[in-house]
Structure 1
Amino acid sequence: MKSSRPSLEQIFETHIQTLCLSLRPNTVAEYRYIGRRFFAYLRTAFPEVHRLSQLRRDPHLLSWFRWLSEQQPPLSNTTRFHYLIRLRRLLHSLPANHSIQPDFIRREDFPVQPRYLPRPLSLQEDQLLQQELKRTDNLVANALLLMRATGIRIGECLDLSLDCLRQLEPDRWALHVPLGKLHTERLVPADPELRQIVERILALRASAPPSYLAKSQPLLLP
């Protein structure tokens, strides 16, 4: 008597059992959950699919991607990205006798991941950071204080010239910021604290070894 072929669910459950040997239980549970969601969708949307050889990127996978994006309440991009990663791993790591096309899930199928802006420092954290930089009092620490006081970028700070501090009037000073990302040079008002930072950088620079300054003669920061 000819034995019946294993169902899609049975094939993947057997494969997931082998993953238990190398993955944590929580990770295996995630694979099992995502696999079951995918096959539940297939049974509903494409009941004629019973074997892996019948599985196609279009329409089966593409329809599932669309279905995920239409869920209510909506799934986040991070969650959908996670689903696709797990399912792709399951499909690609199947034994050779169950191999499928390698491009079932492609790079362009993954939703864009959210990019979060860094959290700003609190007033207390900012004060503590300034205290630590002043206590450290080396070239790097003073360069960071200079950037904080002026809002200039890292590249702009590295490109500051030795004579970047300019006296515009008897009681009016400015920091000359050279051409940078904004494609324009500019003058940043320099209060006494900022002038003190620049003077400290010049003093620290003067005490640096000549070899350290060899390639940065015209620049404020070696």
Structure 2
Amino acid sequence: MLRFRQKPLPLEAEKFLIEFGAGKTKNTGNLYRAALHHFYRFLSQSKMDLAHLRIQNINEFDEDLARHNLKFVTRRANIQQVHKYLRWLESKQVLRDGFSKDLFPNYQPQFIKGNQAKLPELAERFLEVMSVTRKLNTVKGHRSGLRTFYKRHWQTGRPAYKIEREDIDQFLIDLKTNGVDHNQRAARIANLRLYLDWLYDHRALKIHPDDLIRKTDFPRRDKLLPKPFPVEVDLEIQKRLQQSSDIDHLGILLMRRCGLRVGEMRDLSVDCVGEDLSGNWFLKVPLGKLHNERIIPLDPVTVDLIHKIKNIRANFPEPGTNTHYLISNPFGKRRSRTHFAAVLQDITKDLAIPGKVNLHRLRHSFATSLLTAGMSLSAIKDLLGHNDIRMTLNYAAITQEKLRNEYFAALSKIQEQYNVTSYRVKKPDLVEGMNQSFYEAQRYIKKYVDEIGNTDPDKLRRLLGRLMTLRQEFSDLLKLKIQS
């Protein structure tokens, strides 16, 4: 833990803590105070003025905390708390407008819970009914989409259920403006349509949903291929994770070695590993995204990894339950998906990786490495828990090494089967060609005479004799020409 002699905080920081601490627990206030002490210590040691901070200085602050052995989750919380403090200074006009945005360009205030729109009563009822048959994450996705819709709708001043076509138009524009990709936009529109159908069925919506959301509103879905990490990057990530004793790092390594989704890794119970009568170890993956359980065989290295996790995990159930999860924080509570995503970002921050870094690419690397090694698609389908072989076929499309080997093997067979013999082109002989022409002329003359008849034989013989004499003279001339 970072130890230092606490110096008094600036007056602005004390005002922030007083204003922010109203209604908060004492422990929360202490965490913010500690974060600000770390921040001002860093500014002092770096001889840096607050007003001249740049985005690279935030990264340097994170590295400074890491050098003092603060864990990633603590460093992340410190930076978030400093960010909130900088936004407060900006609101008090101590810092210029846009200052915090320059330091944290990826911050999206519309996704902060306090900034999201409150949902009307029937929308909450709709989500409650949906939760009976849908998974919690599905319901959360619908809630997020409805909040986005109603945040704009409330600005019109109309009642919650008086929805018109112009509201849908604005919703579509907002999705596009916020950079939501085609597939996500299509899903958000479909979710909103489901809500409108429900309102119409319950006589809360007067306009038919077909008149509000049309088929042409749905963008064409992008068919994306899996994006595994490059082999050298994949190996480096695994190496870094293996060298760590942090339970979050080991959980991500378990994802990679077993091809798990992040939700499946979070849901693993402490007794997820079993042994059959033959002494073979296996991992029982709980119900996940596609509502199916599956068994994954474990190699000795992965078995040792799970034992290592069990030795360092907290021996507490998740608060409010009796379930002991394999991967949890020191109090037995599971980490969030965004937490694990941020941990992977931290592990790979100094690696040159094409494309976005996300946890699901580890699963893609797992599948493509097995396919490249020669495992059948049907076996990989079972390991990944796919319901349809067409989902697994996507990996075959991007397994370049296997494709390349099969392509060149096919070319080799074609070359053996259709071996084209190379013939030497003979240079034409002018003398031989000329002689052949005279002989052909002599043959046609004789044929013509035979057909018409009544020709003087002596005259024909003299004509053919002159033709042969001419042939000989041409032949002698060409030979001299070639020799010269």
Pick 1 or 2: higher relative contact order, CA cutoff 8 A, min separation 6. 1
Structure with the greater alpha carbon radius of gyration: 2
Structure that is richer in helix per residue: 2
Q: TM-score, normalised by structure 1?
A: 0.49
Q: Hey, which of these two has a bigger chunk of strand by percent?
A: 1
Q: TM-score, normalised by structure 2?
A: 0.24
